[in-house]
Amino acid sequence: MEFKVLPGGDITGEARVPGDKSISHRSIMLGALARGTTRVSGFLEGEDALATVAAFRAMGVRIEGPEDGEVTIHGVGLDGLSAPAQPLDLGNSGTSIRLLSGLLAGQSFSSELTGDESLRGRPMGRVIDPLTLMGAEIKGAAGGRPPLHITGGRALKGIHYDLPMASAQVKSCVLLAGLYASGTTSVTEPAPTRDHTERMLRGFGYEVKTGGGVISLEGGGALQATSIDVPADISSAAFFLVAASIAPGSDLLLTHVGINPTRIGVINILRLMGADISLRNQREVGGEPVADIRVRHASLRGIEIPADQVPLAIDEFPALFIAAACAEGRTVLRGAEELRVKESDRIASMAEGLATLGIRNEVLEDGIIIEGGTLGGGVIRTFHDHRIAMSFAVAALRAEGEIHILDCDHVATSFPGFDALARGLGLQISAMTD
């Protein structure tokens, strides 16, 4: 699938973007390992989250749905999973493979985790290393890449692990392995990352201690079934926060968006750039803070992005790079090495696309410098990355020519129906298939 987006337009109206991908993944994983029946509403029916559903079905868990965002999970308990008959294919989902590595490291059976071409190119050493320290036996292909072969029947022991870089996926992998480990498993974060795993474990009745940048739990407990209402995903909302900010005449209300304090870097950064964003009807749903977000067009200015905001916006930077391209002056991002190992090297991928549209930029080892300017039209490569595709679709609102975006199939991994929703709000986008 390819997108063609005509230049200009504004973003107006009201919308609810799909459910939070991180929470959707975790609801299936913990629901499957709980005792009893867990009911989920607002579940993201994107390909990544569906890959997690398929993996647990392959391990003997009965899961009804999803249907209109409703999922019912009949949990089997921490020790109730069955050996899958074949390798677990996780598609494009880095969250699935990294978190499942932790869960499967403590099982009595062996397993193999694989995925599509993009996922098989992503390094997994950052989860293999701490799991090996815990006593797991995991072997990958060259460079620690998938497929990952996990040997069953290995006794895990709790460790303390200092994360070399801020990563919610690595933190979650270690903590989930800790459910099966003897003693205490703890992780120190160099900077706060999304805390959905900790919140959801507590929601399932499992004690997790936090303080001073250290998160810890004891192995050998049990999870009790619960109900989960998944808020709209702020990572998906980010494209429209940027869209309404850069397009003159825009006035948009996004409803029921998760505003977890470990995820609101995109709002904080856009506000520092001068965006007109306000939070309404703030409330808590299932242990997660939620709000309606109003955003109106504003003149943006380039900034040096504060280091403490980088881990709070790591998935939203492709969209933020478009905001930087439309801002007056220079935007500087440093300390974002994590972007190099996402679905694509997002620093290099975005830099190429921005240059194609006439935006000057300088790639740094751990970030990028973007000079605000005038966007032209052109043909964009996405490198199989859903967020690259959606970011450049939004860029057309301020472009002087048509933007043709190649290889957009992966948009469905996180945002099924993106083009239809965007079109309804004012983006002049059309999707074409071969």
Residues annotated catalytic, as ranges: 315
Q: Are 139 and 101 in contact (CB under 8 A)?
A: no
How far is the C-alpha of 264 from the C-alpha of 104, rounded, in Å?
Answer: 31
How far is the C-alpha of 202 from the C-alpha of 217, rounded, in Å?
Answer: 11
How far is the C-alpha of 244 from the C-alpha of 232, rounded, in Å?
Answer: 18
DSSP-based three-state secondary structure for 294 = strand
Of 288, 306, 300, 291, the C-alpha closest to 324 is 300
| Residue 68 burial class via C-beta count within 10 angstroms: exposed 0-12, middle 13-18, buried 19 and up | exposed
Of 252, 399, 410, the C-alpha closest to 429 is 399
Q: Are 405 and 5 in contact (CB under 8 A)?
A: yes
> What DSSP letter does each residue of 151-219 carry, written as one string?
-SSPPEE--EEE-SS--HHHHHHHHHHHTTEESEEEEE-SS----HHHHHHHHTT---EEETTEEEEES
| C-alpha dist (Å) from residue 374 to 134, 268, 305, 322, 329 | 52, 24, 21, 11, 12
Sequence-distant (6+) residues with CB within 8 A of 211 are: none
The answer to whether the Cα torsion of 309, 312, 317, 319 is positive or negative is negative
Q: Which two tokens stand for residue 89?
A: 């294919």
DSSP-based three-state secondary structure for 148 = strand
Torsion of CA 297, 300, 305, 306, to 10 degrees: -70
The answer to whether the Cα torsion of 269, 273, 275, 279 is positive or negative is positive
| C-alpha dist (Å) from residue 161 to 15, 187, 246, 313 | 41, 5, 42, 23
Which residue in the block uniquely carries the two structure tokens 């439309």? 326
> What DSSP letter does each residue of 262-274 carry, written as one string?
TTTHHHHHHHHTT
Strand partners, 219: none
